[in-house]
Every structure is written in structure tokens, then in C-alpha cells.
């Protein structure tokens, strides 16, 4: 793709659920940049052409992040993407940088693995105040070795396991009760999150969501910045469009809470 950055215009609000609590627009809009380099998947579209898909802002199918992007924009942010390796210059454009489900050879013929230079640039950017989000996947469905090379710089390791197995439509097997007043998900009481990688944390990281002794979500403060790690890309359209999950699972609201929390971490 020729353009390195693609800034999306405000999209249709159809399918945007639970955004009543979104933050008002800021005087200077924060930029939420989604990685398209480490996650770089293509498949044939209806026209028979190879098209980028899977956890992207543009993907409006069940596999996309279009509805999560709607929430960021409703909160006053600008969504952006990065289709090349992170550098000091291109990261300077971002306030929030999201890396999701880094590719394996099963997903991409020539994966762009996270390298030492990438780690050096990302760590320096976080230290200056950047907000980094790392969303992995369960064992067998994500790249972990290089992903962990980055996350361990902040005291977080993805365990490369598969926690919370769900069989067929037995949704209760993927249920998590959210503690009242939760710092990340203050307006959700029950969420659905299945087949994820658990985490191991050490300082400066800490768990912000634990289930039966398993760390599900972790946060690290590093320099002036913040890192959030979760072992699944769980806020994609399939689980926040209000169609698949029973109404008792508040994933649509959780996606809004997550967007708002990330924007609150941005240094003014």
C-alpha cells in the first residue's frame, strides 16, 4: 500500500452501541494509531482482489475493529493506522498505539516480526508519554516470542495458553463478572472473553483483572507512559455489535469504557 497513514473520516454511527458515556471532544484531538505492520493479513474480497482484513478500522465484518474505532471517534479522537515498522518519527504522530494479534506464518507468508529496533523505538515512545496497547490471542493463533520480547520490557509476559475455553454457544463458559467500580470497565458488570492467553506480571506491571488466580488484564506505568495488555483482541465487531452475544454480556459498553480509559491515559 502506498500511503503509510490513512486517517478515517467520521463513519456512520449505525451499529454503535453504548456510547452515551463517551468523552467529549478535546481541543487537540488525540490520535489512536492501529498497527497494520505486525498484523498484516490479506484475503480475496468479493471482487476477487486481495484486501487487508482482520482487526482493522476499515473492516466492517465481524472480524474488524470498525465499531471500536467508532467509539474512539465519538470520544473526540482521530483513528489512524501504521503500515510500516514503528520509528521515532511515525510514532510521534500517535498518542495511543495498538498492536493486535501479531502474525504467524500461518496467517502471512512473510510475517513482520517485532525486532530489536522496533522495541527500542516503542519503549522510548512510551517512556515519553505514549499509551501502548498489546492485544494477543490464544495459543496457536498468535505470535508470542517476538511479542513477548516487547511486552517483557514493561514487566508483562503472555503465557501462550488458552484460558476460558467455550464450546459451541455455551456463552456462560466465557463469562467474567466485572468488580464494581473497576478502573478499566466502570460501566460494565458482565463481559464475555474466551480462549485467551493469560499473563504473568512483575514490576512495573500489575494485574487489573484477575480470575481464579489468572491474570487477564495488566497495566504498566513506564516513564511518562502507560501500557495495557490483554490476551485477546476481544473488542472486535463480532462481540460488540449486539447481535451474537446475549444482552447480559456488556461487551458493547466495555468497548466504550476501554476506549475512554485509554484516552484518559493520554498526557495533556
What pLDDT, on the 0 to 100 scale, is given for residue 267?
A: 83
Nearest CA to 31 among 57, 53, 64? Answer: 57
pLDDT digits (tens, 9 = 90+) for 136-148: 999 988 999 999 9
DSSP code, position 40 = -
Q: Report d(CA 237, CA 255) in Å as an integer.
A: 10
Over its C-alpha atoms, the chain yields an Rg (Å, rounded) of 17
For the domain spanning 31-264, the CATH number is 3.40.50.880
pLDDT digits (tens, 9 = 90+) for 180-213: 999 999 999 999 999 999 999 999 999 999 999 9
Q: Where are the domains of the chain?
A: 31-264
Q: Report d(CA 99, CA 220) in Å as an integer.
A: 16
Cell digits of residue 163? 484460558
User: Which residues in the chain land under pLDDT 70?
Assistant: 1-27, 268
Task: Using a cut of 0.75, tell me whether the model's pTM lies above it.
Answer: yes
Amino acid at each position: 500500500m502506498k500511503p503509510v497513514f490513512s486517517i478515517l473520516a467520521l463513519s456512520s454511527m449505525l451499529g454503535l452501541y453504548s456510547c452515551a458515556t463517551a468523552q467529549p471532544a478535546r481541543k487537540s484531538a488525540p490520535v489512536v494509531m492501529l498497527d497494520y505492520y505486525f498484523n498484516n493479513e490479506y484475503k480475496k474480497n468479493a471482487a476477487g482482489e486481495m484486501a487487508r482484513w482482520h482487526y482493522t478500522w476499515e473492516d466492517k465484518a465481524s472480524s474488524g475493529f470498525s465499531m471500536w474505532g467508532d467509539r474512539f471517534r465519538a470520544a473526540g479522537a482521530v483513528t489512524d493506522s501504521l503500515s510500516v515498522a514503528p520509528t521515532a518519527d511515525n510514532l510521534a504522530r500517535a498518542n495511543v498505539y495498538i498492536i493486535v494479534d501479531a502474525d504467524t506464518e500461518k496467517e502471512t507468508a512473510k510475517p513482520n516480526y517485532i525486532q530489536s529496533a522496533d522495541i527500542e523505538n516503542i519503549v522510548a515512545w512510551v517512556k515519553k508519554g505514549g499509551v501502548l496497547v498489546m492485544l494477543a490471542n490464544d495459543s496457536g493463533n498468535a505470535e508470542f516470542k517476538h511479542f513477548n520480547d516487547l511486552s517483557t520490557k514493561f514487566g508483562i509476559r503472555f503465557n501462550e495458553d488458552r484460558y476460558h475455553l467455550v464450546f459451541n454457544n455455551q456463552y456462560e463458559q466465557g463469562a467474567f463478572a466485572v468488580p464494581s467500580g473497576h478502573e478499566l470497565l466502570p460501566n460494565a458488570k458482565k463481559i464475555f472473553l474466551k480462549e485467551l492467553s493469560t499473563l504473568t506480571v512483575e514490576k512495573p506491571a500489575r494485574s487489573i483483572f484477575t480470575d481464579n488466580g489468572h491474570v487477564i488484564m495488566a497495566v504498566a506505568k513506564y516513564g511518562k507512559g502507560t501500557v495495557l495488555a490483554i490476551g485477546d483482541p476481544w473488542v472486535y465487531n463480532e462481540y460488540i455489535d449486539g447481535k451474537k452475544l446475549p444482552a447480559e454480556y456488556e461487551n458493547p459498553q466495555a468497548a466504550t469504557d476501554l476506549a475512554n480509559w485509554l484516552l484518559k491515559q493520554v498526557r495533556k
